[in-house]
Amino acid sequence: MGEETTSGLDDRIIQDTLWECYFDVEKAIHWLYEEQERRVAARERRAIKEREKAQKAAQKKSAQSPGTSGYTTPVSRAMSPVNTPGRSLKKPGASSSKKSGASTPARGGAGLDQRSLDIFALNLGSNEPQPSFDEPLPKVALEREKLLQEARRVLEGDASTDKKAVSLVVIGHVDAGKSTLMGRLLYELGRVDEKTRIANERGSSKAGKSSFSWAWELDGTAEERERGITMDIALQSLATPHRQVTILDAPGHKDFVPNMISGASRADCALLVVDAATGEFEAGFDRGGQTREHLLLVRSLGVSQVVVAVNKLDQVNWDQSRYEEICGLLRSFLTQSGFHPSKTNFVPVAAMLGVNLVNRTGSDAQELSTWYKGATLVDLLDKLDPPVRDITSPLRLPISNVFKGQSSGTGVNGRICGGIVQVGEKLRVLPGDESAIVRSIEVEGASVPWAAAGANATLYLTAIDPIHLSIGSVLCPPSDIVPLATVFTARVIVFDIQLPITAGASVELFHHSRDVPATISKLITTLDRASGAVTKKKPRVLSKGTSAEVEITLRAGTLSGPSAVARPIPLEPFSSNKDMGRVLVRRGGETISAGIVLDILG
Amino acid sequence: MKLVNKFVDKNGTGHVTLRPEDDEDMWHLYNLIQQGDLVRAPAIRRVQNVSTTGSVESHRVRLNLTLQVSRVEFLSSSAPASSADQTPSNAGSSAVPLPSAALHISGPVTSENQHVRLGAFHTLDIESHRDVRIEKVEGWDSIALSRVEESCVPGRGAEVGAVVCGEGTAAFCLLSQHLTLITHRISVPIPRKASATGASQHEKAMTKFYATLYDAFVRHIPYSTPSLRAIVFASPGWVRDGVFDWMLGEASRRGDKILTKALREKALRVHISSPHVHSLVEVLKSPEIVSQLKETKFAREGVVLDKFFKMLGVDEMRAWYGPDHVFLAADRGAIGTLLISDDLFRASDPESRKKYVALVEGAQQKGAEVVIFSSMHESGQQLNQLTGIAAILTFPLDVEVVEAEEREAREAEEQKKQEEERDTESGAG
């Protein structure tokens, strides 16, 4: 079963199925019989994709013959014993077609992966999935299998009856009206009752900040209200006719980009809010503005769908030309940053007046209705495609918040980046030697027996001292722990920066909700952005726009010489878990580069 | 440090006697003392006497020993991270902290006396206020002599206390000319705001954080000593304002007039981009600090390093780093400003030290500005990461062109040599 290479095509399919089913033999055989026919069709489709990919891929990949190429074991890196190229890309398409015939979102997801790879100038060969699981515990596997089946059923859901869950991060320059838009939207959708609204209105006008009354719904802390800006992520959820949307309202101020990253790493899609007022859009969009930075950040964190809400159009008298101008500027930047035009949508809104959020009725909307006939914001949110969730991989839950539960136990909050978790499971907390037991799970405010990848879940843990739980730690199954790293290689793309990156540059490394001081310890190679071919070895500096392979070392917190050792952080190569393998690099309050983890060296 | 005695002849041989007084002096000694030097300092040695009957008698003797140095070790007094409480070394918060850095020098004894045989190994634990005599076998070079001079300038103790904080974390640092000491760190878990209503946990934790920070500040920052020129509160966002307001409020509530006065007179609030200690570089670059502490070494280091990085961005050909490249630049007389870390002069290999000393002397002769970075500062650490040596050139030079030139020159030389050999051979034949 665990053999690395197999000869016949049949064996390959069997092996593949075994993978899908976690080496549960009975299950696998069952699937095999049932799915054989569909698999043939799927393979053909895969072959076509494979050919497309092969064209773009690097030389060593393109050497493989199309058609069956995906199934030969390439010169693989040490991490995964069975390393089938192209699998991760195919898998979404393949597995979904297996399950439900044809599921367009899944295929879309795969296509976008391709694109994301392009912007990273990635060599496709390195983008491989799923580490191998040496020996599954039989008992768990059975239980797990049932759970996986159930999860699969729910996730696929019947579109007509079930709402698909997506999480949405709201981004944009400071004071673009992100929180206000969300506050108003929540109100329009009936998530905020009249009483709260009046309380907020009264409170904010008393504080002399009546324009912030809608934002108060999300800006809960005293300091945020006093200063009138969002400082940390606010988590809310709302329901559109076909989607259950988790809203992560990110702060726009540049000092709080770390919080924004923490929120964006939990999102599937993004809602970009831009201020249409004269000069304001430009301030956000120019160099150093957060419109640009946020878009690059979310793209680097794997978000591929974006809805752009052009806000405050009432302040420019619903000027259509202004709307078109902004859309034009943004559209070219979005394409340039790697967002596919088909996955970006624009919508004119006025958050304060509530125009074009849910509908375009009322006197305020008349002017807009004269030239805009398209979808409202809610219509667009309703069409967001949830990406394919990887529920078969081992559980990874990076903690983004730790708080005290209502009774005993500690609550932790975070997005599941892979796998599935159920009540009663024992989980390991990394870094550290502690483990905890899941007492209950909450998703969207409701208690649930299990939660799968993609969910923004709150777990209440027992049998652990809260001191061992900190923001940035990762929960994982004790049988399959996430590796800890202090030194790793990464393939990065350098953003538009003024000072080039030298070897030894002091930076901050961002990974989910954690940021740690680090250095770019070695510049290994610069790569061609399109083909991924090595252009220069040991470059002296990395200037803007280059793509490169670098070695990153975490720094010890103290200056007390070489004896100080850095504390490792949980990290995984991109090839084993995409969400856990994405890192961002910032320096001096500016995002200078984004990348994916290739190899963990120590 | 006090210079007790100095005898160096024109060839550079001789000895210097110094009396260290604080942590920084220990650092100076660490940088002065090289492998192979002869160091004479007071020591306590356990001496065992075996009597004729075979009974062993052991007693401790205080004596002066001279060693030939084989190893030097410097231990800074950085507090271990996250320890809630250190041993209360000095109760009076306003007292100058005792020197806590330690310097250990080990090697074989070179002058015999009645208690210690020649060649016996000993480790000297250098104490403050005790004379240390250093004799250099290789001779005193210009770097070492200037270091001695620099270390003995009185009143150089312009110190800055800094609190680098973020939400829930704070690091307390003391900066002197050559040292950055992280005296303490605190980290309080802060739950993030949950939703609109449940913000109380966040606020409660922030209050706890402020209270912890106040206590740690009082204990770890000698705020009332006159030599402490400024107290910097640095953070991204508005944490520094929150911290400062809390400190002032708490100080007046407790009636701590000294602290209130110190805060009012010395406190500076500086914006930085991340709550990590390496943001101290940003603190030192900030206009508030630069204007106040213009002439101090650490401010200068920060400014020069910043200049180098800016040059790297503007004109890559005028900013070179790495020993090989910098030596090439020096050969061409192109160095305008030389940035060099003291780490390189501490090299255990005397040859490489000589090389760097020659480089510095050469550059100085050509009128270049030489800045020796202390690797106990954040800026020095960053320079160390960047190979420890860098230069801003007076005119642009392309690294690759220069390297190609070098290669050609070498090849030409080899060819010449070969030809010569051939000539001599043919001549002989």
Looking at the structure, tell me whether residues A97 and A189 fall in a common domain: no
Looking at the structure, tell me whether residues A402 and A362 fall in a common domain: no
Looking at the structure, tell me whether residues A560 and A448 fall in a common domain: no
Per CB-CB distance under 8 Å, the chain A contacts of B74 are 561
When comparing pLDDT for A27 and B367, which is higher? B367
Closest residue in B to A226 (Cα) is B238
Interface mutation target, options B30, B185, B193, B316, chain A, most CBs of A under 10 Å: B193
**Within a domain: A145:** no
Task: Say yes or no to pLDDT of B350 above 50.
Answer: yes
Shortest Cα–Cα distance, B334 to chain A (Å): 19
A-contacting residues in B 367-426 (Cβ below 8 Å): 376-378, 381-382, 384-387, 399
Per CB-CB distance under 8 Å, the chain A contacts of B78 are 558-560
Of the three residues A381, A411, A442, the one that is the final residue of a domain is A381
Looking at the structure, tell me whether residues A489 and A448 fall in a common domain: no
* 3 state DSSP class of B130: coil
Predicted confidence (pLDDT) per residue in A2-13, tens digit:
444 444 445 555
Pairwise CA distance, residues A31 & A98, whole Å: 10
Q: What tokens were used for B369? A: 């500005």
Question: ipTM strictly over 0.95?
Answer: no
Looking at the structure, tell me whether residues A302 and A434 fall in a common domain: no
Of the three residues A476, A507, A540, the one that is the final residue of a domain is A476
Per CB-CB distance under 8 Å, the chain B contacts of A464 are none
CB B74 within 8 A of CB B109: no
Task: Say yes or no to pLDDT of B81 above 90.
Answer: no
Tell me if chain A has a CB within 8 Å of the CB of B278: yes
Shortest Cα–Cα distance, A589 to chain B (Å): 5
Looking at the structure, tell me whether residues A311 and A181 fall in a common domain: yes
- Interior/surface letters A297-329, b for 16+ CB within 10 angstroms, e for the rest: bbbbbbbbbbbbbbbbbbbbebebebbeebbee
Q: Which of B78, B312, B399 sits opposite A558 (nearest CB)?
A: B78
- Out of A68-82, A585-599, B69-83, B200-214, pick the least confident: A68-82
Euclidean distance between the first and the last CA atom of chain B, given in angstroms as a whole number: 68
Q: Residue B386 and residue A503: Cβ atoms within 8 Å?
A: yes
Per CB-CB distance under 8 Å, the chain A contacts of B205 are none
- Alpha-helix residue ranges (DSSP H) falling in A252-391: 257-264, 280-285, 290-300, 320-336, 366-371, 377-382
Looking at the structure, tell me whether residues A466 and A505 fall in a common domain: no
**Within a domain: A54:** yes
Q: What percent of chain B has pLDDT over 90?
A: 30
Beta strand A305-311 with A269-275 is parallel
Q: Mean pLDDT of all residues in chain A? A: 78
Interface mutation target, options B82, B167, B192, B241, chain A, most CBs of A under 10 Å: B192
The total of other beta-carbon atoms located within 10 Å of residue B333's CB is: 14
- How confident is residue A91, by pLDDT bands cut at 50, 70 and 90? very low
Per CB-CB distance under 8 Å, the chain A contacts of B81 are 557-558
Q: What is the DSSP string of B136-167?
A: ESS---HHHHHHHHHHT-TT---EEEEEEEET
H/E run at residue A81: none
Q: Residue B189 and residue A471: Cβ atoms within 8 Å?
A: yes
**Within a domain: A149:** no
What backbone phi and psi angles, to 5 degrees, belong to A165? -95, 130
Closest residue in B to A553 (Cα) is B385
Looking at the structure, tell me whether residues A433 and A489 fall in a common domain: no
**Within a domain: A134:** no
Tell me if chain A has a CB within 8 Å of the CB of B102: no
Task: Say yes or no to pLDDT of A143 above 80.
Answer: no
Burial class (CB in 10 A: 0-12, 13-18, 19+), B269: middle
**Within a domain: A311:** yes
Q: Where are the beta strands (DSSP E) in B80-148?
A: 102-108, 121-126, 132-136
Q: What is the mean pLDDT of residues B385-397?
A: 90
**Within a domain: A574:** yes
Which own/partner contact pairs does B202-210 have at CB distance under 8 Å and 24+ positions apart?
B202/A221, B203/A221, B203/A222, B205/B168, B206/B167, B206/B168, B206/B242, B209/B167, B209/B168, B209/B170, B210/B242, B210/B243, B210/B246, B210/B247, B210/B250
- Out of A35-49, A325-339, B13-27, B108-122, pick the least confident: A35-49
Per CB-CB distance under 8 Å, the chain B contacts of A540 are 316, 399
CB A493 within 8 A of CB A594: yes
CB A174 within 8 A of CB A230: no
Pairwise CA distance, residues B384 & B251, whole Å: 40
Looking at the structure, tell me whether residues A284 and A185 fall in a common domain: yes
Q: Mean pLDDT of all residues in chain B? A: 84
CB A54 within 8 A of CB A62: yes
Report the pLDDT value the prediction gives residue B194, as an integer from 0 to 100.
61
* 3 state DSSP class of A158: coil
Q: Residue A403 and residue B194: Cβ atoms within 8 Å?
A: yes
Domain count, chain A: 4
**Within a domain: A144:** no
Closest residue in A to B199 (Cα) is A221
Looking at the structure, tell me whether residues A182 and A292 fall in a common domain: yes
Q: Residue A506 and residue B277: Cβ atoms within 8 Å?
A: no
Report the pLDDT value the prediction gives residue B83, as an integer from 0 to 100.
32
Task: Say yes or no to pLDDT of A555 above 50.
Answer: yes
Report the pLDDT value the prediction gives residue A40, as an integer from 0 to 100.
54
Tell me if chain A has a CB within 8 Å of the CB of B238: yes
* 3 state DSSP class of A104: helix
Q: What is the mean pLDDT of residues A209-224?
A: 85
Residue A468, domain CATH: 2.40.30.10
Q: Which of A258, A403, A519 sits opposite B191 (nearest CB)?
A: A403
Q: Where are the beta strands (DSSP E) in A328-486?
A: 344-348, 397-404, 410-415, 420-422, 426-430, 435-443, 446-448, 450-452, 456-462, 474-476, 484-485
Of the three residues A476, A502, A530, the one that is the final residue of a domain is A476
Looking at the structure, tell me whether residues A445 and A555 fall in a common domain: no
Pairwise CA distance, residues B162 & B170, whole Å: 10
**Within a domain: A128:** no
Q: Residue B386 and residue A502: Cβ atoms within 8 Å?
A: yes
- How confident is residue A544, by pLDDT bands cut at 50, 70 and 90? confident
Q: What is the mean pLDDT of residues A297-313?
A: 92
- How confident is residue A85, by pLDDT bands cut at 50, 70 and 90? very low
- Alpha-helix residue ranges (DSSP H) falling in B221-256: 239-254
Q: What is the mean pLDDT of residues A388-399?
A: 88
Domain that holds residue A84: 4-121
Pairwise CA distance, residues A259 & A401, whole Å: 11
Looking at the structure, tell me whether residues A422 and A568 fall in a common domain: no
Closest residue in A to B80 (Cα) is A558
Q: Which of B198, B273, B316 sits opposite A588 (nearest CB)?
A: B273
CB B19 within 8 A of CB B122: no
Task: Say yes or no to pLDDT of A542 above 60.
Answer: yes
